[in-house]
Amino acid sequence: MSPLRNAMPTPLRISPLQFLLLIQLEASPKYGYEMLKSIKEAFEGVWEPKTGTLYPALKSLERRDLIEPLERDGVDFYKITEKGHRFLEQIGSHQESSAKFSARFLTVLIKWISPELKKKIISSFSWMAGDDTNMFGNIMGFFDEGVDRDTRLLFLKGMHRKMSKRLDDLDKSIAELETKS
The boundaries of the domain holding residue 160 are 125-181
When divided into structural domains, the chain yields a total of 2
CA end-to-end span of the chain? 42
116 assigned to some structural domain: no
Helices 16-27, 51-63: crossing angle, 10 deg rounding: 70
| Predicted structure pTM score | 0.60
Q: Please tell me the predicted confidence (pLDDT) of residue 4.
A: 47
What does the DSSP 8-state code read for residue 116?
A: H
Determine the residue type at 66: L
Q: List for the chain the helix, strand, coil content (%; round to 5).
A: 70, 10, 20
Higher pLDDT residue, 138 or 81?
A: 81
d(CA 135, CA 163): 12
Q: Please tell me the predicted confidence (pLDDT) of residue 131.
A: 64
142 assigned to some structural domain: yes
Any bridge partners for residue 20, and if so which? none
pLDDT digit string, tens, across residues 142-156: 666 667 888 778 878
28 assigned to some structural domain: yes
114 assigned to some structural domain: no
Determine the residue type at 125: F
115 assigned to some structural domain: no
pLDDT digit string, tens, across residues 61-113: 999 999 999 988 888 899 999 999 999 988 877 777 777 888 888 888 888 98
Among candidate residues 56, 83, 110, the one where a domain is terminated: 83
Q: Please tell me the predicted confidence (pLDDT) of residue 135.
A: 57
Which secondary-structure segment (H or E) carries 126? none
Look up the CATH number of the domain holding residue 60: 1.10.10.10
Determine the residue type at 62: E
179 assigned to some structural domain: yes
Any bridge partners for residue 71, and if so which? 76
- Taking residue 8's Cβ as centre, other Cβ atoms within 10 Å add up to 20
Q: Are residues 136 and 77 in the same domain?
A: no
d(CA 83, CA 62): 11
User: Per-residue pLDDT for 178 more than 80?
Assistant: yes
d(CA 140, CA 156): 9
Q: Are residues 140 and 79 in the same domain?
A: no
Q: Please tell me the predicted confidence (pLDDT) of residue 123.
A: 73
107 assigned to some structural domain: no
User: Per-residue pLDDT for 1 more than 80?
Assistant: no
54 assigned to some structural domain: yes
Q: Which of 76, 78, 73 lies closest to 21 in space, CA to CA?
A: 78
User: Per-residue pLDDT for 166 more than 80?
Assistant: yes
Q: Please tell me the predicted confidence (pLDDT) of residue 83.
A: 95
